[in-house]
Amino acid sequence: MTALPDKGIRLSRNGPAPSVAACIYEGQVMHQRLKPFGHRFNYRVFSLMIDLDRLEEADGLARGFSVNRFNWVAFHERDHLDEGETDLARTARRRFREGGVTEPLARILLVSYPRVLGKVFNPLAVYYGYDAEGELRGMTYEVRNTFGGLHRYVCPVVPGAMSEAGLRQQADKIFRVSPFVEMNMRYHFRMLPPGEEVRWRILETDPEGPLLSATFAGSRRPLDAATLLRVLARVPLLPITVLGGIHWEALKIWLKGAKFIPESKKVTNATDSSQLPSANFHPRLEPDAAGSRSTSGDGHGLRLQLKR
């Protein structure tokens, strides 16, 4: 099985994390199934990067964009909060602490899909926790499935994990995402933190080797009216693109012969990994195999669900 080539920007050339309160990353997602048959697709998307401590500042950056209010494009804290939680910055810090990130975090950036006309579905949202010197200290991978489930993999950044190719981490899969993928899987993350560009690469492997890969590659754009007009012209209904793509590709791989795997009774979909902060994380470094990023494992679910 041939490893996917790395054509991404290197860490030293990507620059520091954006200093702005919010910006847009415009690019593409790619998913590729490697066995028992091949299947690959690409979709144009755009993501929002927002500083969780500067939501009020972000709210005034562009006409057509709001924080915690309806607009053409919007960010709502409650899309990333559990029941009873109210402040996302404070909650994100607590999740990091419970997940083993012991250093005080001066800044937390979240990269996720924004709401478009009040709707959103985020297969994967990624939190980046930085200390006062601007060093990346922790990552939280917030994974959703289309059955209404949610799980957060909280991963401290250990010494040696960062290289010119980006950050390498891995975690055992303990949350069901796709009805066509077994649970005895492992995620291999390689992430280029936000700068001029952002890169997410995840390889999902079973005991015999790579099964699924996916990527998100995005280029930074200012959060202003011109950018919003452009990305909305290119991807006018982002939530439909995301959810429609998930279900359309699920149908295609089912027609190719993918086996439907019943849900194990031992797995609970609506699990918050902050309840089990370190049980699924293993900071072992590996050579860069066929590393590729997954917004949600293989991302195929069967029930449509939009956040209101």
Q: Tens digits of per-residue pLDDT, 56-73? A: 999 999 999 999 999 999
Q: Is the pLDDT of residue 297 over 70?
A: no
Nearest Cα neighbor of 194 from 6, 11, 7 is 11
Mean pLDDT rounded to a whole number for the chain: 81
Instruction: Return d(Cα 54, Cα 225) in angstroms, integer.
Output: 19
- Cα 133 to Cα 3, 17, 272, distances in angstroms: 35, 12, 29
Q: Is residue 184 one of the residues assigned to a domain?
A: yes
Give the mean model confidence (pLDDT) for residues 183-201.
Answer: 90
Of the spans 139-153, 164-178, 251-265, which averages the highest pLDDT?
139-153
Q: Is residue 302 one of the residues assigned to a domain?
A: no
State residue 20's pLDDT score.
Answer: 98
Can you give the three-state secondary structure of the chain, one letter per residue? Answer: CCCCCCCCCCHHHHCCCCCCCEEEEEEEEEEEECCCCCEEEEEEEEEEEEECCCHHHHHCCCCCEEECCCCCEEECHHHHCCCCCCCHHHHHHHHHHHCCCCCCCCEEEEEECCEECCEECCCEEEEEEECCCCCEEEEEEEEECCCCCEEEEEEECCCCCEECCEEEEEEECCCCCCCCCCCCCEEEEEEECCCCEEEEEEEEEECCEEEEEEEEEEEEEECCHHHHHHHHHHCCCHHHHHHHHHHHHHHHHHHCCCCCCCCCCCCCCECCHHHCCCCCECCCCCCCCCCCCCCECECCCCCCCCEC
Give the mean model confidence (pLDDT) for residues 15-34.
Answer: 93
State residue 285's pLDDT score.
Answer: 34
Q: Is residue 103 one of the residues assigned to a domain?
A: yes
Q: Is residue 180 one of the residues assigned to a domain?
A: yes
- Sort strands 65-67 and 73-75 into parallel, antiparallel or unpaired: parallel
Q: Is residue 298 one of the residues assigned to a domain?
A: no
Q: Is residue 308 one of the residues assigned to a domain?
A: no
**Residue range of the domain that includes 117:** 11-275
Report yes or no: 281 and 171 within 8 Å, Cβ to Cβ.
yes
Instruction: Return d(Cα 204, Cα 293) in angstroms, integer.
Output: 8
pLDDT band for position 9 (cuts 50, 70, 90): confident
Q: Is residue 43 one of the residues assigned to a domain?
A: yes
Instruction: Return d(Cα 114, Cα 69) in angstroms, integer.
Output: 12
Residues 6+ apart with CB under 8 A from 79: 112, 115, 120, 122, 307
State residue 240's pLDDT score.
Answer: 85
Give the mean model confidence (pLDDT) for residues 275-285.
Answer: 36
Out of 76-90, 125-139, 174-188, 222-236, pick the least confident: 174-188
Give the mean model confidence (pLDDT) for residues 114-122.
Answer: 95
Q: Is residue 288 one of the residues assigned to a domain?
A: no
Instruction: Pick 240 or 124 by higher pLDDT.
Output: 124
Q: Name residue, tokens 């609970």.
A: 268
Give the mean model confidence (pLDDT) for residues 159-179.
Answer: 84
Q: How many domains, in total, are found in the chain?
A: 1
